[in-house]
């Protein structure tokens, strides 16, 4: 558990989480050879919440998520997931979380059903056949479930990737651009499904996105990153009020172009 572990905030988190956190990141830094991808960030994410990680290209969102997953080792700082230090305790938590990212694909020659069967076994899912049938029904995969993953449209592939991410009914779901390159209808459909999943399972979702409407619609809280640092961290309403803007896209542009918050100029 995280109780008793002081997590310094930098910059100050406007959305403090009391009690155990689903994710607790403290003084996290990642330096690659020529760049500082993540620069001393700290935040805690409450269980059962949806948090949006916003930022332009190179802001450090993907590196942050990769460090939470244990795919990238931090230069310094700590990450705790579901109460366990990562990557030291990864065996405790990897089965309880899952992810979807544009940086990975499902094996293209395997059918959707075969892919889900393989990943279901990796995650030791019980009653796997039923689970696959349930996912096929929930995510509307039935029509192409026996088709190779490589022969699907972009929208179908995204639904399959989401099915893989949900196969173990994760308590924590990490999503990197889950609706990128999807038509508005499919994207909206995915968002509805994620929202429903969170409500039904009390799951925690951390969502990195460029899509401001998506974040506005889904997220309880928004963390805005720029050049590896946290520029702002608050509820969506709190951020809109502070920047005196009507939508997150305007806030994003303010942050990207270095314009000050309302009242601080």
Partner 1 sequence: MNRATVSHHGIAFHRIYAMLLRYSYLLVSSWPRLVELIYWPTLQLITWGFLQSYITANSGPLARAGGALLGAVILWDILFRGQLGFSISFLEEMWARNIGNLMMSPLKPIEFLIALMIMAVIRLAIGVIPMTLLAIAFFDFNIYGIGLPLVAFFCNLIFTSWAMGIVVSGIVLRNGLGAETLAWTLMFLMLPLVCVYYPVSVLPAWLQTIAWLLPPTYVFEGMRALLADHVFRADLMIQALLMNAALLAASFAVFLWLLNAAKRHGSLLQTGE
Question: What residue ranges bind partner 1 (CB under 8 A)?
Answer: 30, 32, 37, 62-63, 66, 69-73, 87, 91-92, 94-96, 98-99, 101, 103-111, 114, 117-119, 121-128, 130-131, 134, 148, 164, 168-169
Of 27 and 96, CB closest to partner 1: 96
Of 169 and 234, CB closest to partner 1: 169
Of 126 and 185, CB closest to partner 1: 126
Minimum distance from residue 161 beta carbon to partner 1 (Å):
9
User: Do residues 144 and 112 touch, judged by C-beta distance below 8 A?
Assistant: yes
* Strands in the chain per DSSP E: 23-31, 36-45, 50-54, 76-81, 84-86, 97-100, 172-176, 204-209, 221-226, 229-235
Minimum distance from residue 255 beta carbon to partner 1 (Å):
24
Minimum distance from residue 28 beta carbon to partner 1 (Å):
14
Minimum distance from residue 132 beta carbon to partner 1 (Å):
10
User: Do residues 90 and 165 touch, judged by C-beta distance below 8 A?
Assistant: no
Structure tokens, 81: 């997931």
Of 131 and 191, CB closest to partner 1: 131
User: Do residues 49 and 238 touch, judged by C-beta distance below 8 A?
Assistant: no
Of 168 and 209, CB closest to partner 1: 168
CA-wise closest residue to 69 among 44, 39, 47, 100: 100
Contacts of residue 150, defined as CB under 8 A and 6 or more positions apart, other chains included, come to 108, 109
């Amino acid at each position: 558990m995280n109780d008793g572990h002081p997590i310094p905030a930098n910059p100050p988190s406007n959305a403090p989480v009391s009690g155990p956190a689903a994710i607790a990141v403290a003084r996290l830094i990642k330096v690659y050879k020529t760049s500082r991808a993540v620069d001393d960030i700290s935040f805690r994410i409450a269980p059962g919440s949806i948090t949006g990680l916003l930022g332009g290209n190179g802001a450090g969102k993907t590196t942050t998520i990769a460090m939470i997953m244990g795919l990238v080792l931090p230069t310094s700082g700590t990450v705790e997931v579901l109460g366990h230090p990562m990557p030291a305790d990864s065996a405790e938590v990897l089965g309880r979380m899952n992810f979807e990212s544009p940086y990975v694909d499902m094996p293209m020659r395997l059918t959707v059903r075969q892919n889900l069967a393989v990943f279901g076994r990796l995650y030791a899912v019980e009653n796997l056949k039923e689970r696959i049938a349930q996912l096929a029904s929930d995510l509307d995969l039935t029509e192409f479930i026996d088709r190779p993953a490589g022969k699907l449209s972009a929208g179908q592939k995204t639904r399959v990737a989401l099915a893989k991410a949900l196969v173990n009914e994760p308590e924590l779901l990490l999503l990197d651009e889950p609706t990128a390159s999807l038509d508005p209808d499919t994207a909206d459909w995915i968002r509805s499904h994620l929202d429903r999943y969170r409500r039904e399972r009390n799951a925690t979702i951390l969502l990195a996105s460029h899509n401001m409407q998506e974040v506005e619609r889904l997220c309880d809280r928004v963390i805005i990153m720029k050049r590896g640092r946290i520029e702002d961290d608050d509820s969506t309403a709190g951020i809109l009020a502070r920047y005196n803007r009507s939508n997150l896209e305007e806030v994003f542009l303010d942050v990207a172009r270095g314009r000050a918050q309302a009242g601080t100029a």
